[in-house]
Amino acid sequence: MNITGIKGMNDILPGEMATWHFLEQQAHRIFQTYGFGEIRVPVVEKTELFCRSIGETTDIVEKEMYTFDDRSGNSLTLRPEGTAPVMRAFIEHKLHNQDSVTKLYYQGPMFRYERPQKGRYRQFHQIGAEVIGVDDPKIDAQVLAMLSHYFSAVGIQDVALHINSLGCKECRPDYRQALIDYLQKHLAGLCGDCQRRYQTNPLRVLDCKVPACREATATAPAMLENLCRVCEDHFSQVKSHLQGLAIPYTVNARMVRGLDYYSKTTFEMVTNSLGSQNAVAAGGRYDGLIADLGGPALPGIGFAIGVERLVLMKNAESLAVRRLPLFLATMGKSAADRAFLLMVSLQNQGLSVEMEYAGKSLKSQMRRAAKFGARYALILGEEELSREVAVLRNMDEGSQQELSLTGIEARLLQICSAEPAGPTAD
C-alpha cells in the first residue's frame, strides 16, 4: 500500500506556490514598512511554554497539542501558535535592552490536532506580528491599520473587523465570577462540554457554537459592560483611533479568544466566504504574558493570519499566472541536441526555458508550449539547422521571425527578458 501524507497536513504543490509567495512577499514588504523585523523560532518548544502561556484549560492545551518526549525524556511540543515562542525568544535574548519598543513578525507552520475540514488543518501556516513595550491604545489601532493594509494589498475585500475587550486582571476576576453564577443557573441548557468547562473556563461557554448554549447565554453578562475604568478608557480610545483612521469595525461583545493570555483589546478578521472557519486573522493584547513567562513586565499586542484560509479566499485566477518566456520545439535528434545546449546556456544566464525531450510531433510540442503559457516558442528542425537558423514564434500574436543561430543567445535574452513575468501586486 502507498504511504500517504498525514491527515490534516497538506502538501503545497508548485501550481499553488505563486499565491503563497505573493502573500508572503506582501507581508515582508508591508510589515517592514511599519518597522517590523522578521524573527524565526524553532517549530518545537518545551511543552511547559505553551501550558503556561496559552492556558491549561484551553482546548489547545487540553486536547490539540502534538506533545512527545524526546530521547532524553524532555516533554516537547510542536508549536500550536507563534506568540509564545516569540515571547520566549524575546525574553531569552533580552531584546528589550535594544529599544523600548520591539516589533517582530514571523511566518511558518503551526500544529493543532483539530478535526480537519475546509479551512481547518492539523498543520497550517500563520503570518504573525507582535509589538512589545507599548500600552498606548494608538498602537492597538496601528496594528489593526497594518492588518487592514495587508488585506487590501493582497486584494481581499470580504473581511470584517470584529473587536472586543476582555478586561484585565483588575476587572476580569469579578466578571468571571458573575458569569459563573449566571451559568450555574442555566446549567441544564448547556452542552456537555460547557457543563464541564463552565467553572474552569467560563468565557469559552460564550463562544460555544451549539445552539442550546447560545440560547442559554443570550442574556449572560458581557465583559464589555463590566470593564474597569482603565480598560473602558483604553477600549474607547482604540475605537476613536480606528474611526480617525477610517477603519470600519464591529464591536462583538461575545467574541472570546481560544487562548488565555489576552487582556483588553481582542479582535478577529472574519469572512462570510469560508463557512464555519470564518476567522482569517485574529489577535489581541497580552499585557501580562511576558512577565508570566519570567520576563520584564512589558505589554504586548499582535495578530496572526491563517495563510491557508487566505489562499482559499484568494481567487488564484485573479493573480496573473506566471508565464514561461521561452519554449524550445525541435524536430530530429541533432536539432534536439543543439536546442538542449541552448536551453541550459540560457537557463544559466537567468532565462526560464523549457523543451520537449520525447521526440513528439511539432503540434504536440506547441500544445505543451501553450500549457506553459509560453510567450515565445523557438522552432528548430533539421531543415532550419542546415541553414543555421531557427524560427521564433510570438505565441500571443502568432507572428514569426527567423533568427540566425549565430549570436542567437544574446538575441533571445534580449527579446524574451523584455516581457513582464510573475504576479502583479497591489
Question: Interface residues with ligand HAM (CB under 6 A)?
Answer: 81-83, 112, 114, 119-121, 124, 126, 128, 130, 258-259, 279-284, 302-304, 306, 308-309
Angle at the Cα of 204 (from 163 to 192), degrees rounded to 5? 150
Nearer to ligand HAM, 223 or 329 (CB): 223
14, containing H or E segment? helix 14-33
How far apart are alpha carbons 54 and 51 in whole angstroms? Answer: 6
Name the minimum Å distance from CB 289 to ligand HAM: 9
338 close to 346: Cβ distance less than 8 angstroms: no
Name the minimum Å distance from CB 401 to ligand HAM: 51
Q: Quick check: helix, strand or coil at residue 46?
A: strand
Nearer to ligand HAM, 55 or 119 (CB): 119
Nearer to ligand HAM, 137 or 306 (CB): 306
Nearest CA to 77 out of 104, 46, 101 is that of 46
How far apart are alpha carbons 58 and 64 in whole angstroms? Answer: 9
Nearest CA to 31 out of 135, 107, 129, 154 is that of 129
| Maximum C-alpha span of the chain | 94
Torsion sign, CA atoms 260, 313, 65, 83: negative
Give the end-to-end CA distance of the chain in Å, rounded to a whole number: 46
Name the minimum Å distance from CB 396 to ligand HAM: 39
Nearer to ligand HAM, 119 or 325 (CB): 119
32, containing H or E segment? helix 14-33
Name the minimum Å distance from CB 58 to ligand HAM: 10
Nearer to ligand HAM, 91 or 259 (CB): 259
Name the minimum Å distance from CB 142 to ligand HAM: 14
Name the minimum Å distance from CB 191 to ligand HAM: 21
Q: Quick check: helix, strand or coil at residue 330?
A: strand
Contacts of 69 (CB under 8 A, 6+ apart): 75, 76
How far apart are alpha carbons 245 and 225 in whole angstroms? Answer: 25
How far apart are alpha carbons 33 and 29 in whole angstroms? Answer: 6
Q: Which residue is at the shortest CB distance from ligand HAM?
A: 306
Nearer to ligand HAM, 1 or 6 (CB): 6
Nearer to ligand HAM, 22 or 124 (CB): 124
Name the minimum Å distance from CB 197 to ligand HAM: 17
Q: Is 109 exposed, middle or buried (0-12, 13-18, 19+ CB in 10 A)?
A: middle
Nearer to ligand HAM, 300 or 325 (CB): 300
Q: Quick check: helix, strand or coil at residue 200?
A: coil
HEC assignment per residue over 256-318: CCCCCCCEEEEEEEECCCCCCCCEEEEEEECCCHHHHCCCCCCCEEEEEEEHHHHHHHCCHHH
Nearer to ligand HAM, 263 or 365 (CB): 263
Nearer to ligand HAM, 113 or 182 (CB): 113
Name the minimum Å distance from CB 146 to ligand HAM: 13
Residue that the C-alpha cell 446549567 belongs to: 187
Nearer to ligand HAM, 121 or 175 (CB): 121
Name the minimum Å distance from CB 286 to ligand HAM: 6
Name the minimum Å distance from CB 310 to ligand HAM: 8
Name the minimum Å distance from CB 84 to ligand HAM: 8
Cell of 22: 505573493
